[in-house]
Amino acid sequence: MATITFENISKKFGNNEVLKNLSLVVEDGECFTLLGPSGCGKTVLLRLLAGFDVPDSGRILIDDHVVTDPDKHIDIQPDQRDLGVVFQDYAVWPHMTVFDNIAYPLKLKKIDKDTMNEQVMEIVDLVNLTGLEQRLPSQLSGGQQQRVALARALIAKPSLMLLDEPLNNLDANLREEMRFEIKELQKKLGITILYVTHDQEIALAISDRLAIMDKEGNIRQIGTPWEIYEKSANEMVFKFMGLANFLPIRYEQDHHLVGHGQQQLIWDNLPAESGKVGCRPSDIILSKTGQGLQGKVVRASFLGAVMDYMVEVDGVTLRTEVSTNTALQNDLMFKDDEPCIVNFHELLWFPDNAETVRS
């Protein structure tokens, strides 16, 4: 296992400053994900850790060992950093069998044949490839090829694994299957994983903690999946992590008024100022009677397991979903243009002209 420390990392490519004074600590034994839009610098950070590129300034440490420090001309070679790397495109040798692909790093180390066979078969079993050892990559599915790449990275028993969008080329069902397998592998082996992706669902599913990066390469929040999704620290994170509803609030004469109308939002601990509240579709409670904000269902869509509703409240549209069974059992099957009552499970407050958030 290994602790990763980035200290004030900066990196430019030409005039494009991708990373600027970025600092981050990944704890020993955790699965940590760098999540952000394409081009935000997350893969650059992984490549700097792997030793494929060198930062312009700053230090990188694995445990207490400095592996990169341009000021002191320290740049430990990738094969000396005790890490495994898995890329998006598998990068398995097409002319080698599964066994030979996995065994390749051990052959380079000149491990004796009996020890090599034992270690390879142990990893083959670990990644669920038993019985496929003599097949060529062309005879495997995409998920099986990705398991070969994982096994080859694990065979040298690294203390640290770097995964760069490894599931992007798989179909939806395989992605779901493999993300759980990666998490199980991490639990079994207890190694530190740094995972890079722009896929929010994968990041939430596998991470112990994650860092959200913006387009400028800044880290906007670090936290557990629940903290990131339910307690977003700012508007950028809230928008990036999934479908987000925003309801503008005007503060007039000691009242918080919704949208363009005169309905008052009653909610504990709202500040005495204008701003907006944010919520997820799952935070909205629809009903046909009772107290709450008066709205109208402007679009009702049957999606099988769920009813998807677009609701208008004083000129502002909100999206919500209700399971079809719940809707049928609780008289929540709305039609287009039908009036409704809107309440909320949870709201986050976003001040005007600021990125700070309050719950």
> What's the rounded Cα separation, in Å, for the pair 49 and 150?
18
> What's the rounded Cα separation, in Å, for the pair 74 and 95?
37
Tell me the domains of the chain and their CATH numbers.
4-239 (3.40.50.300), 243-351 (2.40.50.100)
Instruction: With beta carbons less than 8 A apart as the criterion, state whether 312 and 298 touch.
Output: yes
CB atoms within 10 A of CB 118: 10
DSSP conformation class of 201: H
Buried b / exposed e over 192-202, threshold 16 CB at 10 Å, is: bbbbbbbebeb
Q: Which amino acid is at 256?
A: H
> What's the rounded Cα separation, in Å, for the pair 169 and 319?
30
User: Hey, CA dihedral for 182, 183, 184, 189, is it positive or negative?
Assistant: positive
Q: Which amino acid is at 214?
A: D
> Which residue from 192, 12, 202, 8 is spatially nearest to 88, judged by alpha carbons?
202
Give the CA angle between residues 204, 208, 214 to the nearest 5°.
Answer: 60
Which single residue is written with the structure tokens 């913006």?
A: 214
Strand segments, DSSP code E, in 91-151 are none
Which single residue is written with the structure tokens 């998807």?
A: 308
> Three-state DSSP class for 56?
coil
Average pLDDT along the chain, 359 residues, taken 10 residues at a time = 93 94 96 94 96 96 96 94 84 90 88 91 88 93 86 87 84 78 84 93 93 96 95 93 95 94 94 95 96 97 96 96 96 96 96 59
pLDDT at 4: 97
pLDDT at 228: 95
